[in-house]
Structure 1
Amino acid sequence: MGSDKRIGIGVVMILVLLARIWWWQKSEVKLEDGQGVKITARIKQIPVDYYGKQRINVSEISIDVPEDIKVDYGDKVSVVGTIKERATTNGTKYLSLTDQEFRKIENGTEWGRYLVNIRQKTFYNLRRWLGGDEGELAAGIVVGGSGEMSREGRDNFRRTGVSHIVAASGYNVSVVGGVILVMAVGLIGRRWGMWFVIFGVFMYMFLAGMSAAVVRAGVMGILAMIGLMAGRKGDGYWLLVVSSWGMIMINPAYIEDIGFQLSVAATAGVLYSTPQATNPNSQIPKILNSLLQNFKTTMAAILMTMPLILHHFGNLSVAAPMVNLLVVPVVPMIMGIVGVASLVGFLVPVGGMFISWLAWPILKYMTIIVNWFGSQSWSSFEVGTISWAWVAGYYLVLVICIKYWHWRR
């Protein structure tokens, strides 16, 4: 497709998107602190185990399920309560319900219960086999969540900029998928490496519970990889734009979703840093070349997401580049070992336990690195949030620098 044609299509897409967002904002029902609501809906995400309770997200509201009621993916529920605005430890605001009356109206499908059972069994086995923060980290990497990790551990992961590893977030899909890609490209070639990543992303989406953030990032990542398989980065960028545009058209609320914004930015960074092909005449050993490409991928994702993190959280992690470089490369290895251990554990629990122990030294290495950097006073600074104008200015300067760098080469 010619550049002029793409520009024309791009202008039309922007105009249509602006019209869709305008209509959505005009018709959107605003939820406010103290407002009474009644919600009847199906659960579209796997319930999260949070300190012994189930926590679900319905209509963008976080709801704690009463202890005497058990819900699964796909169940239909009715909730009456009062909106309460809360904030996480890093300052992210979210809506919850107080004084609620909770009823389960209808059971979901067998598929939903099967998915939940796999996830819960995986959590239970890994926590029992590995224990401590290492067990929580293993479960978080494979299926997402760090609800029972120690408070110190959670704070250190946040301060060092690697919370995405245990969040089963879209950012995690993008960064970890990118690291797997550059390592696979260096070791088995670009085309086979792409297929390997696509398969890995599908498996991760399934194990992580098919949450909206993970599915969005998975779809964007897979389409971008297909573009790269066509042989041109431009195709990957174009498919990323089209998939993002389509998702916002379907649900305009995504444009305000922090996870969606980070997923798009991180995926763009991964695309930029991914090598088009390996050089057969290169004098650099394949393993060293993969490590260098991993550093490039990690830095690209950090640079692309940094202004969004500053805008939403106002937190600048000085340690993030070094910690990501040290811990992200071993994540695919942990995913592989723990994934195999979990599968074997369903059939032969003792066999799964022994296999999981192979991952413990790597998990311990990760927690040591994160806890040491996180305990340093200089690892993270609260610099205050920045406006969207500064975010736009940052990306404009970044694009100019990238263009200039190519011109210099």
Structure 2
Amino acid sequence: MRYALWIGLVLLVFARFITSQPTYIDGQKIRITTRISTEPTMSTFYQNLNLAGLKISLPRYPEIHYGDEVVVEAVVADKNLKDPVLISISETKSIFPKIRNLFLSFYGRNFPQPDASLIAGIVLGAKTSLSKDFWDSLTKTGTAHIVVASGMNVTFVAGFLMSVLVLFLKRKIAIPVALAGIWFYSALSGFDAPIVRAAIMGSVAFSAQELGRLLNAYKALFLTGLIMLIIVPQWLTDIGFILSFVATLSLMVFEKKIEKFAKFLPGFFKEGFATSLAAQIGVAPILFVTFGQFNILSPVINALVLWTIPPIMIIGALAGVIGVIFEPFGRLILYLAYPLTWWFIFIIRIFNF
């Protein structure tokens, strides 16, 4: 009986996954009406997205954004959609994606490239404005995870907030305030699906770690993951979900151990190195199998840049909030992040070989 609940939940996940699979037939012409729950990936001529479990590439324009409702006709071909035609696109009425777009516009107008794209990626998980060359550099150096929504990033937010809040508040009060910061970040990001699931897992892991209940943390993380998969079974094969879950679990297992081993390192470098290496232990095999890429220097590169992420996120979010209200003042705040983005890009370029 001890494991009956866990076995039952796992079986329920697989049952939901199997029964939720689309029953399309190759060669079948279909019409899909759906709301975009994950930001499309942009290339030079196309925007790539997933509709109803099927991969599709549409022309670059008109641009489709997170939250938009689209109607598409296409022919099914081996889990892809061929010859797609965009019938209609309706902008979302939700306020969060609109706030997200205001932030993106603010960054683009007030910061040079690729710094603006870097901040947009770090703060909002937005990849649309990243140039192909810069994205390739991030991929080669093993730092692409920084500009996508991940459990690691939300953990960084909470960790940074905790380090500041404990200077003024009791720890029991600081923890929920830090968690509120995670969800404020999620709201700014438009509650994009990858960010929400990363925020949930990051909240569980961070809370448990800070409260010192590691055994319960593992149970909570697995329970959270199973519940999320029961609600959205398609995430079982979603690489973003898998990476968020594994990175969070790997952080919980290895981070403290690595920090003790690396106690001779400077404080900020030690924390970044421990966080990066802990996450890399879990995600490296997945990245290698999935993308065929892994940089052996990635932990070192990440250690050199990860310490910049929390302040960039905080400054970028604060500048965005103020900038959409009073742009000149927001611009001044945004430029406080410039030395950090310069350092980040400098390190990426050095190791991009």
Q: 1:219 to 1:27 in 2, by over 3 A?
A: closer
Deviation readout 1:226-256 (Å, 9 max, x if unpaired): 3335431112111101101111222222221
Counterpart residue number, 1:341: 319
Q: 2:96 aligns with which of 109, 115, 120?
A: 115
Q: 1:186 to 1:96 in 2, by over 3 A?
A: farther
Q: Is 1:362 paired with 2:340? A: yes
How far apart are residue 355 of structure 1 and its match? 1.5
Counterpart residue number, 2:88: 103
- Identity, % of aligned pairs? 25
Q: Please give the alpha-carbon distance, in whole angstroms, between the structure 2 residues aligned to 1:63 and 1:31.
A: 18
Q: 1:162 to 1:32 in 2, by over 3 A?
A: farther
Contact 2:37–2:66 under 8 Å retained in 1: no
Q: 1:226 aligns with which of 192, 198, 207?
A: 207
Q: 1:194 aligns with which of 175, 197, 200?
A: 175
Partner SS state of residue 317, structure 1: coil
Partner SS state of residue 87, structure 2: strand
Q: Please give the alpha-carbon distance, in whole angstroms, between the structure 1 residues aligned to 2:26 and 2:299.
A: 38
Q: Is 1:173 paired with 2:153? A: yes
Number of matched residues? 348
Contact 2:151–2:247 under 8 Å retained in 1: yes
How far apart are residue 178 of structure 1 and its match? 6.8
Q: Please give the alpha-carbon distance, in whole angstroms, between the structure 2 residues aligned to 1:153 and 1:217.
A: 24
How far apart are residue 98 of structure 1 and its match? 2.8
Contact 1:46–1:116 under 8 Å retained in 2: no
Q: Please give the alpha-carbon distance, in whole angstroms, between the structure 2 residues aligned to 1:135 and 1:266.
A: 26
1:132-281 correspondence runs (5 A)? 132-167=113-148, 169-173=149-153, 176-177=156-157, 180=160, 183=163, 191=172, 194-273=175-254
Counterpart residue number, 1:127: 108
Counterpart residue number, 2:36: 43
Q: 1:177 to 1:14 in 2, by over 3 A?
A: farther
Consecutive unaligned residues in structure 1, runs of 5 or more: 1-7, 86-93, 277-283, 377-409
Q: 1:302 aligns with which of 276, 280, 301?
A: 280
Partner SS state of residue 22, structure 2: coil
Residue 103 of structure 1 aligns with an amino acid whose one-letter code is: S
Q: 2:292 aligns with which of 307, 314, 326?
A: 314
- Name which of structure 1's ranges 217-226 and 33-42 shifts more when overlaid on structure 2: 33-42
How far apart are residue 99 of structure 1 and its match? 3.4
1:364-379 correspondence runs (5 A)? 364-374=342-352, 376=353
Contact 1:198–1:222 under 8 Å retained in 2: yes
How far apart are residue 262 of structure 1 and its match? 0.9
Contact 2:16–2:230 under 8 Å retained in 1: no
Deviation readout 1:153-207 (Å, 9 max, x if unpaired): 111100111111112x234435534753785598678545533431231122112
Q: Please give the alpha-carbon distance, in whole angstroms, between the structure 2 residues aligned to 1:196 and 1:269.
A: 24
Q: Please give the alpha-carbon distance, in whole angstroms, between the structure 1 residues aligned to 2:294 and 2:38.
A: 30
Contact 2:106–2:324 under 8 Å retained in 1: no
Contact 1:84–1:98 under 8 Å retained in 2: no
Residue 138 of structure 1 aligns with an amino acid whose one-letter code is: I
Contact 2:39–2:126 under 8 Å retained in 1: no
Consecutive unaligned residues in structure 2, runs of 5 or more: 258-262
Q: Please give the alpha-carbon distance, in whole angstroms, between the structure 2 residues aligned to 1:145 and 1:72.
A: 10
TM-score (ref. length: structure 2): 0.84
Q: 1:275 to 1:69 in 2, by over 3 A?
A: closer
Contact 2:268–2:307 under 8 Å retained in 1: no
How far apart are residue 220 of structure 1 and its match? 1.5
Counterpart residue number, 1:88: none
Q: 1:97 to 1:290 in 2, by over 3 A?
A: same
Q: 1:262 to 1:67 in 2, by over 3 A?
A: closer
Q: Please give the alpha-carbon distance, in whole angstroms, between the structure 1 residues aligned to 2:76 and 2:241.
A: 24
Contact 1:173–1:214 under 8 Å retained in 2: no
- Name which of structure 1's ranges 153-162 and 117-126 shifts more when overlaid on structure 2: 117-126
Contact 1:46–1:210 under 8 Å retained in 2: no
Contact 2:56–2:84 under 8 Å retained in 1: no
Residue 337 of structure 2 aligns with an amino acid whose one-letter code is: A
Counterpart residue number, 2:74: 81
RMSD: 3.5
How far apart are residue 215 of structure 1 and its match? 0.8
How far apart are residue 221 of structure 1 and its match? 1.6
